[in-house]
Structure 1
Amino acid sequence: MSRPTDTLVGIPLFRSLDPVELTALSARCLWRRVEAGQWIIDHEDEGTDVFFVLAGQVRVTIRAVSGREVILRDIPAGEFFGEMAAIDGKARSAGIVAVTGATVARMPAPLFRECIHRHPDVCDQVLRLLTGEIRKLAGRVNESNTLDVKHRIYAELLRLARPDGRGAVVSPPPPHADLAGRVGTRREAVSRVLSALEKEGLLEKRRGALVLRDPAALEKRVRRAMEDG
C-alpha cells in the first residue's frame, strides 16, 4: 500500500519523468518493508512484477544442482530487479533475499512495459542494463571455465574493491561464505587463499575492510591465468 512519503523519486530509471508523472507512477506501486534475511521472490516464482529498491540492499542468488547457493550480485538502493520476467512473462531466473532491512516498491509488469514504451530514456536504460548483465554473465562463465578457484577469488576481490590511496579496499569485508558463494567454492578455500595473500603482503585485514595492497599484481595474475587457460 502506498503512503504519502512513498515515492520513486530516488530511482535513476525514472529521471526523465516530470514530478506529476512520477507521483502518479508511485501511487500505482505496492510498497513493502522487508527484514534482513527475508526472501522477496524465490527462484522459479511465477510472478512478473518489477521491484525497485528504495532503501537497503538485496541479493540475487541461484541454487546450483549440487544444492550450493551461488551469489550473482547485490542490488543497492536506487536499482531494481525482476525486469526479465516482466518482459518475457516467464518464471523467475533467480531468487532475491534482503541483505539488510529494505524498502521496495512493487510495480505490475504491464505498467513497467508501459513506461518503457512511453519514455525513450527509460527504454535506453533498461537496454543498457540488460546488455551489461549479459556481458557480466559471459565474463563469469569464462572465468568459471578458465580459472581455478584461487584466481576466481582474486577476480572477485578486484570486482568488489574500490580504489584507495594505498591500493584498493573491500568494505565491508564479505563473510568467507559469501565470497565462496560468489565464485562457486567452499568457505575453507576462501580462507586458505586470503591467508596466502596476507603472507605475501598483497592483502591486509583491517577492522571493517580488506585492503588489496597491490591490485595491479592480482590483475596481472588473473590475466596470465586467463591466457594460460
Structure 2
Amino acid sequence: MLMDCGLFLALTPADFSAAAGYFSISNIDKGQPIFNEGDAGTFMCIIHSGTVSVQKLNGEGKQVETAILRSGRAFGEMAVLDGERRSASCIAASPCYLLNLGKDSLDKMLNDAPKVAAKIIRAIAIAMSKRLRMMDGQVLAQQE
C-alpha cells in the first residue's frame, strides 16, 4: 500500500519493505473525526482510499472546510515533524482506509533504518514545500 502513495516515489522496493513495519492501518467510517484542531500531533496519515475533509474554526467558532483530500495524499505530517498541536481538524468525508505513521514509530525508524527514515522525512518536506509554494501563489493571486 505504501507503494501506491505518490509521496514516496523516491523509495526503492527494499525501502518500502524496511518502512512497512512502522506504519499501521486504520478504517475510518464516514463522518468520523481522524483528529481535531488543537489535538496533540502524534501521527500522520496517508489516504489509501476515501476522502478526508480538512476543517478549521473561523472567527465565529464555526467549522469551515478548507480542503478535500483524496487517495495518495498525506496529512497530519506537520505535527509529526514539529510536535505542535494540530492546525486543523480532519474528518472522513467518505469511508477511509488510512496508513498511519506515529511520531514514536518515525523516531524508532530513525534509529533502526536511518537512511529509509531520511528518505521519508525528505519526501514529507518536499510535499509540504510544494503546498506552501502553492499557497503563496494563491495569496499573491488574491492580492492582485
Q: TM-score, normalised by structure 1?
A: 0.53
Give the unaligned 5+ runs of structure 1.
Answer: 1-6, 147-225
Any residues of structure 2 matched to 1:81-92 within 5 Å, and which? 81-92=75-86
Deviation for aligned residue 1:90 = 0.7
CA distance in 2, matches of 1:111, 1:122: 12
Identical counterparts, % of pairs: 23
| 1:159-191 deviation digits (Å, cap 9, x = unpaired) | xxxxxxxxxxxxxxxxxxxxxxxxxxxxxxxxx
Q: 40, 50, 54: which is aligned to 1:46?
A: 40
What's the counterpart of residue 118 of structure 1?
115
In the other structure, the counterpart of 1:128 is 126
- Aligned-pair Cα RMSD in Å: 2.5
Note closer, same or farther for the CA distance 1:129–1:17 as it changes in structure 2 (3 Å cut). closer
Asked if 1:70 corresponds to 2:64, the answer is: yes
> What residue number does 1:56 align with?
50
Task: Choose which of 103, 110, 134 in structure 2 pairs with 1:109.
Answer: 103
Greater RCO, 1 or 2 (C-alpha within 8 Å, sep 6+): 2
Cα separation, 2, equivalents of 1:85 and 1:111: 14
Alignment of 1:167-178 (within 5 A): none
* Distance in structure 1 (CA, Å) of the matches to 2:59 and 2:140: 19
Cα contact 2:28–2:96 (8 A) shared by 1: yes
Q: How many residues align?
A: 139
Partners of 1:87 and 1:124 in 2: CA distance = 11
TM-score by length of 2: 0.79
Deviation of 1:11 (Å): 1.2
CA distance in 1, matches of 2:21, 2:44: 15
Asked if structure 2 preserves the Cα contact closer than 8 Å seen for 1:48 and 1:90, the reply is: no
